[in-house]
Amino acid sequence: MFLEIFMNDSRIPEPVLTAMSQGTHIVRAFREHLGYSIEDLAVACGLAAEEIQNIERGLRYSKGYRDRIAKSLSIPVGILESELDISDAA
């Protein structure tokens, strides 16, 4: 399971792991943990709010998007690397 990859990763705060274990997408879990709205994250990483919503709904997103989101959330890019490189959530 996807979550098992992260269970022993000390870079992920417990509230984020808890949210993920309840089915929350990793991007949303980090975003909410940091107190960002969808619009805040969209502005910070240069994506549309709709793109963030699509990602959080489970649409796949490219490495470029992962890098931008990780940088905006100040998390190591590698945490999002398990997401597959296929079409953007645009």
**Both structure tokens of 72:** 């905006």
Asked whether the beta carbons of 77 and 71 are under 8 A apart, the reply is yes
pTM of the model: 0.81
Domains of the chain: 2-80 (1.10.260.40)
Q: Go through the chain and tell me how many residues it has.
A: 90
How do residues 29-49 score in pLDDT, each as one tens digit? Answer: 999 999 999 999 999 999 999
* SS3 letters across 1-57: CHHHHCCCCCCCCHHHHHHHHCCCCHHHHHHHHCCCCHHHHHHHHCCCHHHHHHHHC
How do residues 52-84 score in pLDDT, each as one tens digit? Answer: 999 999 888 888 999 999 999 998 877 887 544
Comparing 15 with 9, the larger pLDDT belongs to 15
Does residue 6 register a pLDDT over 70?
no
